[in-house]
Structure 1
């Protein structure tokens, strides 16, 4: 269940996390009259089966903050394995991302959560034909929500065993989740080199180191599946070799 469609005082963290597809549908339905795109997302979501089953091929998710090398690594792994590359939010709704990024946090999170369930449908289909590489999935939605709904240092995060870190029971689960990390200094250097316009959340990451730490720590506390951390500071070639070996060790290819 989610908080109300209008912005308000922070409530329970569990209420802020869109933990199941029915809750996401309810939130989008409540917002559809004011935000037509919410109705469009809902229409796509309604066509997705509630329970998705993974095919016989492995599904590997890459997580991490912007400028940690996800785009480069996922493309390289895709080419090496002959895999299908999918991204969150999925292409069918990504054109509305800028609209929802301007909405209050609960609505924005509903959009990204809906994207996870729509993406699950795409993963289920693709994994019957080839390995699937995914650039962000549920862990991102959860980590950013947890970091937004808490304040201050990481000591204020929910305890390690809290349910907010657990994968939703009704969402297709990947075989492996790799969390790419670099130092704050290296990430800033890469961002400046890209010269791209930053989102509100990316600006917040740069301005508020505590927010960034809360996100990173939230990633590390995820369970079932947990994130396996990969140092993405070395050269692209070294990171690719490390990632490929981890995938081969963990997944049947």
Structure 2
């Protein structure tokens, strides 16, 4: 087994030049995977741009907004061939300013001979673009893990509330329950739309930090704590028809002592009303985690000693298991 450095190379090109681009990439050794060559993925979409003064557009006119049928071509390339692949792509591209994205693939391993060429996320590649949501209480490490998981999967990393709503968050979290719920629900629908666009239109996987399950789990878990939780079939756990449903939802569960210790280490973070409630009534912690599972989240138990890579591997195994069952 030999460790190598691999990159994901993504190029947006007019559909009329797709074949020429794929041939140019293959000739520069991009798309060479084990005993295969010319490996790539192509997704269609619409490119949009406005040529400004001093530009020489291959398509369109100066100062006029243009829309072009384009394709997104994604391939992989070893580090030693990357410069040549980029040079070949620019030469084959009709635009003077081609859109090219390059991302390093983390922990890529090459297995020689008849073995498979794989990476940390290779088990999921057969499912195509997927959407993964990470849920869990504050302090379990969602944000750090989500960022690493997105890098491993070469996925878009998103968060809720979405960026367009984040400036008002500090004010909303101090309001009553109805205002907070409305704020988070609106954020869920915006994030859901963005996630769906990324997966279905851009053909790119997404890792989202928090979603609809968090909103409902906190509401139901905190309510009527002297009574048992509603049954899984209760309408309160029903998924809205209008809200995009991700491929897989994961809830990270950390031992409460470790979670509290992590929270206490965040000296710059003000205690939220929810965290204050959890501190005063520890029973609510397990109620919320149970609600996550009733909403369809796969529970992944982690330990305080687990490193980020170990947690990511647990998540990938859980995702693969669920997607395989539903395939």
For normalisation by structure 1, the TM-score amounts to: 0.71
Query: How many residues matched?
Result: 192
- Give distance in 2, aligned partners of 1:197 and 1:93: 19
Partner of 2:287: 214
Partner of 2:130: 58
Q: What is the DSSP-based 3-state SS (H/G/I as helix, E as strand, rest coil) of the residue aligned with 1:177?
A: strand
- Give distance in 2, aligned partners of 1:98 and 1:150: 27
**Does the alignment pair 1:187 with 2:259?**
yes
- Residues 298 and 318 of structure 2 are in contact (CA less than 8 Å); yes or no, is this contact kept in structure 1? no
Partner of 2:299: 229
More helix as a share of residues: 1
Pair 1:248–1:221, CA change in 2 (3 A): closer
Q: What is the DSSP-based 3-state SS (H/G/I as helix, E as strand, rest coil) of the residue aligned with 1:62?
A: strand
CA drift at 1:249:
4.4
Partner of 1:118: 190
The match for 2:144 among 64, 72, 93 is 72
**Does the alignment pair 1:141 with 2:215?**
yes
CA drift at 1:141:
0.5
- Give distance in 1, aligned partners of 2:321 and 2:298: 13
CA drift at 1:216:
1.6
Partner of 1:86: 158
Higher relative contact order (CA 8 A, sep 6+): 1
For normalisation by structure 2, the TM-score amounts to: 0.56
Q: What is the DSSP-based 3-state SS (H/G/I as helix, E as strand, rest coil) of the residue aligned with 2:250?
A: strand
Cα-Cα RMSD: 1.7
- Give distance in 1, aligned partners of 2:218 and 2:245: 19
CA drift at 1:246:
2.8
CA drift at 1:107:
1.4
Where structure 2 has 5 or more consecutive residues not aligned to the other structure, the ranges are 1-127
Deviations 1:206-234 (A, max 9, x none): 22112222212211221xxx111111213
Partner of 2:178: 106
Which of 1 and 2 has greater Rg?
2
- Give distance in 1, aligned partners of 2:231 and 2:313: 34
